[in-house]
Structure 1
């Protein structure tokens, strides 16, 4: 793993989407779907979900949201090492998915997916997930899309080296156990091939990064320049080759 390249990509991400927090208000550049996202967040909060940011509108090309106190970003990893933290994130995601079905949707099994539900986008207090932020990739789709993405990063379905160095686990986690904890906490899911679903989601995410980079968007362009697509191909192959760790 080229950690220097990853660090450069993180800097590019911060430069592309600078975020400021002043007096409890988050301001950041408005994405192309910011109006839709704010409408969705307003809907969820109207149904009693205070676990998503309160939308405060737009001004001068930025969107404004109420800050949710707690740890997120790089401070998030330690909170989800325990079974309790892991399960809390699964339950929160389930609640959001279920409530989302009533927003501009026909009666079917699709939900509104977050699209990027890694530990860094959850807000944490005392090893418990209390919020989910950064809804830039909101879209309507099967709930397994978000579940697969979350499993990849929470379990994680990644190498021992990355679990220790990137995810900061004190020892290599029992991945099979963590998959069960997450899925049991989310609840009421049909059986599915975890490796097949997760690698399929990884491929879809890789392809999205490629497309956005081709369109000149940052930080995706920097990610691709620094070898993100090749690293992702290697990780996909690793998950498939180590199926026995997960099933």
Structure 2
């Protein structure tokens, strides 16, 4: 019999046996399963497919083969990985345009207007499947919700550029270099997102901080632990960093 594999994420413990992944559910699971089926119907194959539930009530999802990096190690800081993440996110967004949320859908994050697309909500390296140096899939759609394209892209460039200060252990590059990576990401993503992403990011991170504190106040142990470990403080520092270097970061979009 195939052995179980266990993966510990920031919030959930996920188990895999063979080609099926077992994950804890949330109130958003029914809506997320509809979204995943819709994406596949639209020809988007860079996301898992739901396969029902196990006897313990966990959701069952197909396994996407490849590496899921915890961090952007030097070998992953390539133009190919950056632009492949952007183009795949664009394809996800475009495939979601015709998805119709329902009034009863219980998204983890609130609907953000204008609700142009379905945001992944956590498009970062730790939720990407990488093959041969390129991003080929996104996993963990728990944070999916309707919102603007730039809202989702802002968090993606926060992680992939990255738009983080030198005190953040995941940061690399100067503000000028980071700005160039943001601009390259947005160019690869295509029309609809540009230099305004720099100004959206602080608001996006503030929303994340508010969500973390709300969840912690409601007794969520994972978010209580994140706050105790200083995650919210780190986001606050990165907000200040982006605002301090706003002009340099935006100037990268003026370079051909």
Same fold (TM over 0.5): yes
Q: Which of 67, 70, 75 is 1:71 aligned to?
A: 67
Taking structure 1 as the reference length, the TM-score comes to 0.85
1:142 lines up with 2:158 in the alignment: no
Q: CA RMSD in A?
A: 2.3
- Cα pair 1:27 1:63 within 8 Å, conserved: yes
Is the 1:69–1:123 Cα contact (8 Å) retained in structure 2? yes
Considering fraction of residues, name the structure with more helix.
Answer: 1
Q: Residue 160 of structure 2 corresponds to which residue in structure 1?
A: 154
Task: Report the Cα offset of residue 227 of structure 1.
Answer: 3.0
Tell me the equivalent position of 1:4: none
Over 3 Å counting, the alpha-carbon distance change for 1:190 and 1:146 in structure 2 is closer
**What is the rounded CA distance, in whole Å, between the counterparts of 1:76 and 1:134 in structure 2?**
18
Residue 26 (structure 1) aligns with: 21
2:197 to 173, 194, 198: 194
Q: Which residue of 2 aligns with 1:132?
A: 138
SS of the residue 1:57 aligns to: strand
Are 2:45 and 1:42 aligned? no
Count the aligned residue pairs: 230
Q: 2:71, 2:125 within 8 Å by CA — same for their partners in 1? A: no
User: What's the offset of the Cα at 1:49?
Assistant: 1.4
Q: Structure 1 147/44 Cα, relative in aligned 2: closer, same or farther at 3 Å?
A: same
Q: Which runs of 5 or more structure 1 residues have no equivalent in the other structure?
A: 1-12
Residue of structure 1 equivalent to 2:180 = 177
What residue in structure 2 maps to residue 6 of structure 1?
A: none
| Cα shift at 1:136 | 0.2
Show CA shifts across 1:208-228 (max 9, x none): 111111111231111123333
**Unpaired segments ≥5 residues, structure 2:** 1-7, 103-113, 251-256
Q: Does the residue aligned with 2:118 lie in a helix, a strand or coil?
A: strand
Higher relative contact order (CA 8 A, sep 6+): 1
